[in-house]
Amino acid sequence: MFLMINPYVTVSAPGRICLFGEHQDYLKLPVITAAINLRVVLTGMANKTDRLSIDLPDIGATETLPLLSNESYYSYEKERDYFRSVVNVLKKSGYPIQKGCDCRVQGKIPINSGTSSSS
Beta bridge partners of 81: none
3-39 pLDDT per residue, tens: 455 678 999 999 888 888 877 878 888 988 888 899 9
Asked whether the beta carbons of 101 and 52 are under 8 A apart, the reply is yes
Task: With beta carbons less than 8 A apart as the criterion, state whether 31 and 16 touch.
Answer: no
In angstroms, the CA 63 to CA 74 distance is 13
Task: List pLDDT tens digits, range 57-91.
Answer: 999 999 998 887 766 888 888 888 888 888 889 88
For the chain, list the domains and their CATH numbers. 2-108 (3.30.230.10)
> What does the pLDDT look like over 87-116, one tens digit per residue?
889 888 988 888 899 999 999 888 777 676
**Is the distance from CB of 51 to CB of 27 less than 8 angstroms?**
no
